[in-house]
């Protein structure tokens, strides 16, 4: 058996720099099968699988550190300039069979309570850290509330997972500004009702106003809000 030392490995890497003889060349079917068989054989070894599993956290840590490097970020950003995403303008990328396999795999993952809870926590944490986009109708609402000296907090996270458009400072009234496009998409109004019910069960008053009402008669919207103020 021949062992390649780290020093020798570096020399090989240096030697290959700029060598593009293999660029854009495809493996033959025989070569692909040999590579595939070799990988399968490796993964049949319990010790190899364990080694890969044990090394994964350290590999992830190293990748995260690398991606946090400003120089690396800039290089990645520059590399994308002028390049379209691989799937831009493409349709029917996946066959119906592949789509079903993907769908079944995702469903299977979400059948696992531990995975589902962990994934929900990741999404909630990401939502807390994300910078919310203030819509034009929220700006109109905020201006009218300020004109009437009604104190409020915008984009407040409630119950650890729901971001609301406005929380009036008495901490009981929630204001939601519903855009005509987004809140008319299939299933969105159903989700809104479920969310409102959960918030109301916790003692909050949820008031929703449609975009056209906010744009055309904001005074009437805030008159409604004032009815609930102490």
Annotate 80-144 with DSSP letters as a single string. HTT---TTTT----S-HHHHHHHHHHHHHHHTSHHHHHHHHHHHHHHHHHS-PPPPHHHHHHHHH
What ranges do the domains of the chain cover?
98-130, 136-226
User: Count of residues for the chain?
Assistant: 230
- Backbone φ and ψ of 80, nearest 5°: -85, -15
Query: Per residue in 33-77, pLDDT tens?
Result: 888 888 888 888 888 888 887 887 787 778 878 877 888 878 877
Query: Per residue in 197-227, pLDDT tens?
Result: 999 999 999 999 999 999 999 999 999 999 9
Confidence band of 142 (pLDDT split at 50, 70, 90): very high
pLDDT at 174: 94
Assigned superfamily of 136-226:
VSR Endonuclease (3.40.960.10)
* Percent of residues, the chain, with pLDDT higher than 70: 80
């Amino acid at each position: 058996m021949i062992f390649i030392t780290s020093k020798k490995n570096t020399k090989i890497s240096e030697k290959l720099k700029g060598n593009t003889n293999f660029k854009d060349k495809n493996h033959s079917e025989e070569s692909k099968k040999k590579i595939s068989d070799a990988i399968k054989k490796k993964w049949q070894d319990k010790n190899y699988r364990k080694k890969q599993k044990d090394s994964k956290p350290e590999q992830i840590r190293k990748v995260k550190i690398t991606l946090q490097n400003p120089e690396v970020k800039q290089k990645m950003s520059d590399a994308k300039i002028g390049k379209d995403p691989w799937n831009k303008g493409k349709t029917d990328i996946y066959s119906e069979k592949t789509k079903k396999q993907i769908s079944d795999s995702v469903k299977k993952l979400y059948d696992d309570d531990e995975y589902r809870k962990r994934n929900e926590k990741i999404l909630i944490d990401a939502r807390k850290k994300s910078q919310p986009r203030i819509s034009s109708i929220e700006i109109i609402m905020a201006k009218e509330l300020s004109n009437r000296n009604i104190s409020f907090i915008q984009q407040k996270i409630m119950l650890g997972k729901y971001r609301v458009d406005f929380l009036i400072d008495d901490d009981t009234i929630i204001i939601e500004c519903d855009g005509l496009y987004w809140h008319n998409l299939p299933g969105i109004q159903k989700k809104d009702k479920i969310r409102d019910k959960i918030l109301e069960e916790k003692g909050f008053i949820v008031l929703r106003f449609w975009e056209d009402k906010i744009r055309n008669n904001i005074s009437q919207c805030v008159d409604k809000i004032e009815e609930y103020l102490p």
